[in-house]
Amino acid sequence: MHSYPTARVGVAGATGYAGQELVRRLARHPAADLRLAMGSTAAGPRRPSPALARVWSGDLAPLDPDRLAAETDVVFLAVPEEAAATIAPALVTAGRRVFDLSGAFRLRDAAARQRWYPHSPEPPSGVVYGLPELDREAVRTARLVACPGCYPTAALLALRPLAEAGLLRPDGDVVIDAKSGVSGAGRTPSERTHFSECHGNVGAYGVFAHRHGAEIAERLGFGVTFVPHLVPLDRGILETIYARLRPGAGAAAVAAAYQTAYTGAPFVRLTGEALPEIKHVVHTNFCDLGWKVDEPSGRVVIVACLDNLVKGAAGQAVQNFNLAFGLDERAGLD
């Protein structure tokens, strides 16, 4: 058993799906003293969540950035980007460390940020993009961590090791066929997420018009064809990714690149040719990666799976918290 000093922690947006996941994990985290759990607006939470009964004994409060600044050391923001864009810089100025689950500060390029997150200002000094397995050192000293989106987490864990090893053909288009459960759209209901619309149905959406495509391309350094789909599941993401390897690269080089990138990474499981499935990862902080290579053609197909509310949101934020405070990366996540 590890013994850790505790930090005073607050969660804003605790009424949403990702916010509830944060409360569940932080309430039993050995280094977190969960002081505040707030809704997403000053009007207060819509209702207490029965799912949090006996998980955390505190009361859900209306969103109050001043209380967060005064009563916590660390704040997790699971609020819309419009709110995060205002709250996060003020909290950083007040000396708090912030883990932002919104997209407000994920994009570095000003034009891209203005297109996809028009409410987001210039990122404050000290903000870093926090994909733990690939940005570990930057996260350790960051004051504001922009936690990656759920789709980009799977795509970047699958592609960045191959790109950084020089295994992908520069002229070969990369296609990301991504499928997500309905909770990825958030808790606010819409016609598209209505049970009668999504049950028994699969549909593509946001083709060439999804903000996560820009996030993936920026972190990879090249464009991709990203097509998300909504599937009738409550949670989980599966991405099937198609790419071409440079001449001479084969299955052994792909396996070696992944082994090099993820040796010692507690939450990436390499399955090789045993391709992963959503049921293998739901309710966990794992991202499972499997792949197949057709060496005569140089084609590689990668399958990445994760739980969009855990590794794609709350769990990843807690993992970043662990890195930032020098804790065991698995604390509160096993």
CATH architecture assignment, domain 150-308: 2-Layer Sandwich (3.30)
Cα distances from 323 to residues 99, 166, 189, 284, in angstroms, run 12, 28, 34, 18
Express each pLDDT in 51-81 by its tens digit: 787 888 888 899 999 999 999 999 999 999 9
Average pLDDT, rounded, for the chain? 91
Q: Which residue has the higher pLDDT, 279 or 42?
A: 279
Cβ atoms 60, 48 nearer than 8 A? yes
147 catalytically annotated: no
pTM of the model: 0.93
Q: Give the pLDDT of residue 250.
A: 95
Q: How confident is the model at residue 284 (pLDDT cuts 50, 70, 90)?
A: very high
- Domain-wise residue ranges, the chain: 7-148+312-324, 150-308
Catalytic residue (choose from 147, 150, 198, 287): 150
Instruction: Return the bridge partners of 179, or none.
Output: 229, 238
Task: Say if 7-148+312-324 and 150-308 have the same CATH topology.
Answer: no
Find the helix or strand (DSSP H, E) in which 78 lies.
Answer: none
d(CA 32, CA 14): 16
Tell me the chain's radius of gyration from C-alpha atoms.
19
Res 45 pLDDT > 80: no
CATH architecture assignment, domain 7-148+312-324: 3-Layer(aba) Sandwich (3.40)
Res 328 pLDDT > 60: yes
Cα distances from 184 to residues 156, 193, 306, in angstroms, run 18, 10, 12
